């Protein structure tokens, strides 16, 4: 605007000329928008927003938020509500194996083909990392944990990647286990990933459940896991089989502890060393071995009954009932049979 036109415009305004065009201000950036909103007078009437119906189920709310996020082109990572977070923390505080079973129960249709990798590789490395952190060298002295600190989480990933890079473990690099392969990144990137993405409940630790949800994030996420798993419980027969296998674990620990003691004593000289060698030779005919065999027989029967009656089914707990929630039983049944098979191979009657 030239100086002459500007002066004429100001003169018209000063004379009270109201024949001016009405314009609508355009908000071009967030800062301007903030300034405009900040100037809204107190008491001004604003448009009301209808609150979503409280009658929606958890699954419906989950689906609504997912579709809304996808419509906005956002990646969907939903925060857990108070009830969901409480349930998630309950599962994440269970032993590693029970967390893995809960995950497999929820996502058996999507990741059932990865169950062997989860059992034989991921679970094994999780336990190894936990033993390393606690300074435990013997399996029979180890009580299964439920979470790893971030630094030990980094160690877990390091050991997992080393295991998979070893040529003798090439079978685990097969294409069928592609969804289970960890992404190779630097330690700095991995630690940031653990803190910002894997640690769902922000407790500064990594649980087996959090690792699994992140590893298989193409089909799983925390909110969906809670939706699938909540309000379901293990069937009593499945729980009975699980507890029977826990009893086998106790008998194994007793047997291995005595075996280790006798092995150490057998290396000593004199009468004590000779006596230990003799007792070691007879260990598999002693009471500890017989108790272990009895526990295995009981566990095998319990697993067989659970598999026959409830394999592939889900069990919804009654209202007001206590107990830990789970989804379908496919993962539970598979894990029970896999665990039993391994124990029988190591400690069954054919062992010499």
- 119 and 335 Cβ atoms separated by less than 8 Å: yes
Q: How confident is the model at residue 194 (pLDDT cuts 50, 70, 90)?
A: confident
pTM above 0.95, yes or no: no
Q: How confident is the model at residue 318 (pLDDT cuts 50, 70, 90)?
A: very low
DSSP 50-108: PPPPTT--HHHHHHHHHHHHHHTT----PPP-HHHHHHHHHHHTS-HHHHHHHHHHHHH
More confident site: 11 or 230: 230
Q: State the Cα torsion 212-217-221-222 to the nearest 10°.
A: 30
Residue 344 confidence (pLDDT) above 90: yes
More confident site: 20 or 272: 272
Q: How confident is the model at residue 2 (pLDDT cuts 50, 70, 90)?
A: low
Burial environment of residue 142 by CB neighbours within 10 A (0 to 12, 13 to 18, 19 or more)? middle
Average pLDDT of the segment spanning 215-229: 93
Nearby residues of 58 by Cβ (< 8 Å), 6 or more positions away: 84, 226, 227, 230
pLDDT value, residue 324? 40
Q: How confident is the model at residue 315 (pLDDT cuts 50, 70, 90)?
A: very low
Percent of the chain with pLDDT over 90: 62
Average pLDDT of the segment spanning 335-351: 91
Q: Give the model confidence (pLDDT) of 114-135 as tens digits.
A: 999 999 999 999 999 999 999 9
pLDDT value, residue 51? 57
Q: Give the model confidence (pLDDT) of 44-95 as tens digits.
A: 565 555 555 566 665 565 456 556 545 554 443 457 888 999 999 999 999 9
* Cα gap 9→19, rounded to integer Å: 11
What are the angstrom distances between the C-alpha of 231 and each of 55, 87, 201, 279, 330?
A: 17, 10, 20, 51, 17
**Closest by CA position to 66, among listed 79, 48, 54:** 79
pLDDT value, residue 349? 79
Flag the least confident range among 100-104, 226-230, 332-336: 226-230
Q: How confident is the model at residue 163 (pLDDT cuts 50, 70, 90)?
A: very high
Residue 351 confidence (pLDDT) above 90: no
- Joined together, the tokens standing for residue 104 give 């497999």
pLDDT value, residue 29? 55
Residue 36 confidence (pLDDT) above 50: no
Computed over every residue of the chain, the mean pLDDT equals: 83
* Cα gap 201→185, rounded to integer Å: 23
Q: How confident is the model at residue 298 (pLDDT cuts 50, 70, 90)?
A: very high
Q: Give the model confidence (pLDDT) of 241-288 as tens digits.
A: 999 999 999 999 999 999 999 999 999 999 999 999 999 999 999 999
- 312 and 306 Cβ atoms separated by less than 8 Å: no
């Amino acid at each position: 605007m030239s100086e002459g036109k500007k002066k004429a415009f100001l003169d018209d305004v000063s004379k009270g000329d109201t024949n001016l065009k009405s314009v609508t201000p355009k908000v071009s950036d967030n800062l301007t928008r903030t300034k405009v909103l900040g100037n809204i007078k107190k008491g001004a009437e604003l448009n009301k927003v209808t609150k979503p119906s409280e009658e929606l189920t958890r699954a419906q709310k989950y689906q609504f938020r997912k579709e809304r996020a996808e419509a906005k082109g956002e990646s969907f990572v939903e925060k857990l509500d108070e009830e969901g977070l409480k349930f998630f923390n309950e599962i994440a505080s269970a032993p590693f194996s029970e967390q893995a079973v809960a995950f497999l129960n929820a996502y058996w249709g999507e990741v059932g083909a990865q169950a062997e990798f989860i059992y034989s590789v991921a679970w094994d490395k999780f336990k190894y990392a936990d033993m390393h952190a606690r300074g435990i060298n013997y399996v029979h002295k180890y009580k299964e944990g439920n979470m790893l600190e971030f630094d030990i989480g980094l160690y877990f990933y390091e050991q997992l990647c080393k295991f998979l890079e070893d040529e003798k473990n090439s079978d685990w690099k097969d294409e069928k286990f592609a969804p289970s392969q960890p992404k190779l990144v630097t330690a700095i990137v991995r630690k940031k990933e653990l803190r910002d993405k894997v640690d769902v409940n922000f407790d500064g630790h990594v649980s087996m459940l959090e690792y699994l949800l992140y590893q298989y994030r193409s089909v799983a996420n925390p909110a969906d896991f809670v939706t699938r798993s909540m309000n379901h419980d293990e069937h009593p027969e499945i729980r009975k089989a699980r507890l029977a296998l826990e009893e086998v674990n106790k008998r194994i620990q007793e047997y291995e502890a005595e075996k280790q003691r006798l092995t150490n004593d057998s290396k000593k000289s004199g009468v004590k060393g000779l006596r230990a060698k003799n007792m070691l030779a007879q260990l598999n005919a002693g009471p500890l071995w017989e108790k272990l065999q009895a526990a295995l027989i009981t566990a095998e029967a319990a697993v067989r009954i659970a598999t026959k009656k409830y394999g592939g089914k889900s069990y919804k707990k009654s209202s007001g009932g206590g107990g830990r929630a789970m989804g379908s039983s496919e993962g539970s049944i598979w894990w029970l049979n896999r665990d039993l098979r391994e124990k029988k191979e190591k400690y069954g009657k054919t062992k010499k």
